[in-house]
Amino acid sequence: MRRIESQIDTNAADYKANYAAMSERLKEFHARQHAARFERPQRDIDRLARQNKLGVRERLKLLLDPGTPFLEFSTLAACREYDGVVPGAAVVTGIGIVQGREVAIHANDASVKGGAWYPHTVKKVVRLLDVALENRLPVVHICDSAGGFLPLQHGVFPDRYLGGRVFRNQVKLSQANIPQIAVVGGHCTAGGAYVPTLSDYNIIIEGTGAIFLGGPPLVKAATGEEVGVQELGGAVMHTSVSGTGDYRAATEQHAFSLAREIVGQWKRTPKTIIETAAYEEPYYDPEELYGIIPKDRKTQFDMREVLARIVDGSRFHEYQPDYGTTMVCGFAHIWGYKVGILANNGVLFNDSSLKAAHFMQLCNQNRTPLVFFQNITGYMVGREYEERGIAKDGAKMLMAQGGSVVPKFTVIANASYGAGNYGMCGRAWDARTLFMWPQAEIGVMGADQAANTMADVKIRQLQREGKELTEEEIAAIREPVLEKYKRDVEAYTSTSELWDDGILDPADTRNALGMSISASLNAPIDDPHYGIFRL
């Protein structure tokens, strides 16, 4: 496969300005990520120490194979909710390596609100268990939760994808013969009691771990019975009397070494075989991406320059290089895995949509996973394009994309507006993982267009009522709408709301994709089949 020849001049003024702007953004991003992971009020740190419990990051260190990568999801979940006081939505999720095998990890963070379940906590856990189901990954649950956050119970409990879905997914995992283990390092109360009890294996840490449907205060209120935590649901009682617990551990260290032993003896299913090549680092430095991504989102850039800093050896076999040129399609390897890449080099026209649909069919036919790099402002509009059937050609692209059986992965590299987000495998389209770059935006349209549209509606309404508006009055309507919309389309809003699996430093994208692809091969790939293409 041939190497992409980069046209980037790293001494150019544009490059340097972009590099500086991206470096500034990344400084903020890494600081926010560090805070979400490690910075806690002193009283919460003291409380954990008093309870003789390790923090969630120390627990992960005990669980995971030393020196192996941990692909953490949605570190900044809920960063724009609850006044920012529930970092990471009080839970850590991701894919890690235990005894040489990939596992999905769901770990409560008891240093945040006692590990309580907020609405965004539930969303994050359900997403993790969906990842486990789609990729057939065994699950390790590390339970330490105060239970559902009662003031927001309506956002935690009743709906289809809320609390019940956690347990429903556990049942589906078990049914699909995907093993689960729970380490109980704190209280599992009420619904939380079902996390360890629906797992095939569970370990309770003596002294700190406990499982019960109702804790001591609730029992007292309900029946008047007075009972302590240990007699009601401690490690000794559950592992010797009720059979609710399987193993009891003397210490946290003991618990995680037991967990590792158990994971190590699980049956290993061979991974799905796809085309591979010898691993090769990109020829061009991935950090050059900082200078390639324009500081002004509206400025066009060549996605091949991006691909050259992500794929193995910067090698790319471009498919149909001279047709539908706003859609770059081609083959490359990431971590040695062969992938089919679709990347936007402009608006989607009729020809570029057809090219994408055709290329995706090709990849499904030869079992090549798909990677989407989004920088899409939409499908082309206007009479000329409607007459050529742009909506029909877009539908073909959606049919091929949504009907794909190979694993799909999405990187929102810059703009993700409107139906372009759908065609390019946005959140609703089951990408195995979907990541955003920090400057990227997602919304039904760009901020200016949206603000103008919303302001126009308001202005026309006032005009119908006979009011004439001055320039200042129009600006007064438009500006607040624009400010709010600008914030709503930012990557931080997306990641706060779990519309993605996390924001990435662009230079880390290659590794995040490599891990995602590797994990996806735990699941088989079906034979290709589609719905009806509107030809």
Which part of the chain contacts another protein (CB under 8 A), choosing from 250-258, 291-299, 451-459, 515-523?
291-299
Q: What are phi and psi of 491, to 5 degrees?
A: -60, -35
Nearer to another protein, 346 or 389 (CB): 346
x/- site string to another protein, residues 407 to 436, per CB under 8 A? --------x-x-------------------
DSSP state of 112: T
Specify the residue, 296 or 471, whose C-beta has the smaller distance to another protein.
296
Say how far apart CA 107 and CA 249 lie, in whole Å: 18
Residue 256 CB, nearest approach to another protein (Å): 42
Report helix angle 447-464 to 471-488, nearest 10: 140
- Tell me which of 83, 226, 296, 387 binds another protein, using CB under 8 A: 296
Helix orientation angle between 350-365 and 390-402, rounded to the nearest 10 degrees = 20
Q: Residue 384 CB, nearest distance to another protein (Å)?
A: 6
Nearest distance from residue 177's CB to another protein, in Å? Answer: 43
Closest to another protein by CB, 245 vs 378, is: 378
- A 10 A CB-CB count for 409 gives 24
**Which range of residues in 82-90, 235-243, 295-303, 468-476 is near another protein by CB under 8 A?**
295-303
Q: How many residues bind another protein (CB under 8 A)?
A: 23
The size of the chain, in residues, is: 535
Nearest distance, CB of residue 370 and another protein, angstroms? 24
Among 346, 402, 403, 528, which residue interacts with another protein (rule: CB under 8 A)?
A: 346
Quote the least distance from Cβ 446 to another protein, whole Å: 5
How far apart (Å, rounded) are the C-alpha atoms in residues 526 and 455? 48
Q: Which of residues 367-386 bind another protein (CB under 8 A)?
A: 377-378, 380-382, 384
Residue 299 near another protein by CB under 8 A: yes
The smaller minimum CB distance to another protein, of residues 62 and 347, is found at 347
Q: What is the sign of the dihedral through the CA atoms of 354, 357, 359 and 365? A: negative
Looking only at residues 254 through 283 of this chain, which bind another protein when binding is defined by CB under 8 A? 280
- Binding segment for another protein (CB under 8 A), chosen from 51-59, 285-293, 346-354, 495-503, is 346-354
- Asked if 449 interacts with another protein (CB under 8 A), we say yes
Please state whether 25 falls in left (phi above 0), alpha (psi between -120 and 50) or beta.
Answer: alpha
Closer to another protein by CB, 7 or 177: give it.
Answer: 7
Instruction: Give the interface segment with another protein, choosing from 79-87, 328-336, 359-367, 443-451 (CB under 8 A).
Output: 443-451
**All residues at 6 or more sequence positions from 192 whose CB lies less than 8 Å from its CB, including other chains:** 117, 143, 145, 147
Asked if residues 316 and 331 have their Cβ atoms less than 8 Å apart, the reply is: yes
Residue with tokens 């041939």: 2
In the complex, minimum distance from the CB of residue 327 to another protein, in angstroms, rounded to a whole number? 13
- DSSP letter for each residue of 226-278: ---HHHHHBHHHIIIIISS-SEEESSHHHHHHHHHHHHHTSPPPPPPP--B--
298 binds another protein (CB under 8 A): yes
Specify the stretch interacting with another protein by CB under 8 A; choose among 393-401, 444-452, 516-524, 526-534: 444-452
CA–CA separation, 14 vs 291, rounded Å? 8
Closest CB 280 distance from another protein, rounded Å: 8
Q: What does the alpha-carbon distance between residue 435 and residue 118 come to, in Å, rounded to a whole number?
A: 23
Long-range Cβ contacts of 19-26 (<8 Å, 24+ apart): 19/290, 19/291, 21/295, 22/289, 22/290, 22/291, 22/293, 22/295, 22/438, 22/439, 22/506, 23/290, 25/438, 25/439, 26/290, 26/438, 26/505
- Looking at the Cβ atoms of 179 and 446, the one nearer to another protein is 446
Using the CB atoms, write b or e for 331-356: b if 16+ within 10 Å. Answer: bbbbbebbbbbbbbbbbbbbbbbbbb
Binding part of the chain for another protein, among 104-112, 138-146, 342-350, 401-409 by CB under 8 A, reads 342-350
In this complex, which beta carbon is closest to another protein, that of residue 1 or of residue 213?
1
Residue 294 CB, shortest distance to another protein, in Å, is: 9
Provide the residue type at 521 as one letter.
L
CB 300 → another protein: shortest distance, Å?
A: 4
What is the closest distance, in whole angstroms, from the C-beta atom of residue 326 to another protein in the complex?
Answer: 8
List residues binding another protein (CB under 8 A).
Answer: 2-3, 280, 296, 298-300, 313, 346-347, 349, 377-378, 380-382, 384, 415, 417, 445-446, 448-449
